[in-house]
């Protein structure tokens, strides 16, 4: 794994964590938030999902182009996280 692929993996992990936190926040506020507040948070979570997909694509593209690879454990982890989105 090169430095760039590691940087991209960290960026992907951070994006997934932000997306997961946003989903949790939606679940917490869904019954008590105004429609406007809920819609605003939902749009933010939607953007976080897009950001996590962009980060995954950048990581996968770099690895395919440069022949970088992750250990099986790291790759399975990132795949399992992305399959839950």
Q: Do 16 and 84 contact (CB within 8 A), yes or no?
A: no
Centroid of chain to Cα 4: 18
pTM of the model: 0.74
HEC states along 51-67?
HHHHHHHHHHHHHHHHC
- pLDDT tens profile 5-17: 889 999 999 999 9
Distance of alpha carbon 61 from alpha carbon 79, whole angstroms: 15
Q: Pick from 84, 66, 67, 77: which is nearest to 9 by CA?
A: 77
Distance of alpha carbon 9 from alpha carbon 74, whole angstroms: 9
- pLDDT tens profile 21-36: 999 999 999 888 899 9
């Amino acid at each position: 794994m090169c430095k760039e692929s590691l940087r991209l993996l960290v960026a992907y992990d951070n994006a997934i964590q932000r997306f997961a936190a946003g989903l949790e926040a939606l679940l917490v506020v869904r019954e008590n938030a105004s429609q406007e507040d809920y819609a605003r948070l939902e749009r933010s979570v939607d953007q976080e999902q897009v950001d996590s997909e962009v980060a995954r694509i950048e990581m996968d593209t770099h690895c395919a182009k440069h022949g970088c690879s992750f250990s099986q454990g790291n790759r399975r982890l990132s795949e399992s996280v992305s399959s839950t989105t």
